[in-house]
Amino acid sequence: MTQANRLHFKPLWLVIGFGMIAFVIYESLTPSPVNFGMGLSDKVYHTTGYFGMMAWFCQIYNRTKARLGWGLYFIAMGIGLEFLQGMSGVRNYEVNDMFANSAGVVLAFLISLTRFSHLLNHVDHFIARKAA
């Protein structure tokens, strides 16, 4: 990893990322998930949630192999959470949710192949310069 790609605040970015994962797990398994009141299909929430997590970790890990690993993890997490919802007796198991989750992961991976993948790096370096 070159000096330009080194994140000064990587522990902070990881805490935020794992917070996103914890939020998605909680929201997937709680009997009373947060109602964002925007009137959108829940598939939009699934896609954007998994897109957000994948995009975040693609910002932190810029090697393709690591990104593919995170992508497989998030897809497996989405599938596993759907099975757990079905077994809970209070939430519904939906194959279409699995597809929506996976679509978010794939879209984020594809976007990570563009210049977007350097956004967090720029923010990190900007904060580090201001803090110095």
Domain of 92 in residue numbering reads as: 9-18+43-131
Q: Does 54 reside within a domain?
A: yes
- Of the pLDDT bands very low, low, confident and very high (cuts 50, 70, 90), residue 4 is low
**Which pLDDT tens digit goes with each residue over 37-53?**
766 688 898 999 999 99
User: How many of the other CB atoms lie within 10 Å of CB of 63?
Assistant: 10
Q: Does 24 reside within a domain?
A: no
Q: Does 127 reside within a domain?
A: yes
2 pLDDT above the threshold of 60:
no
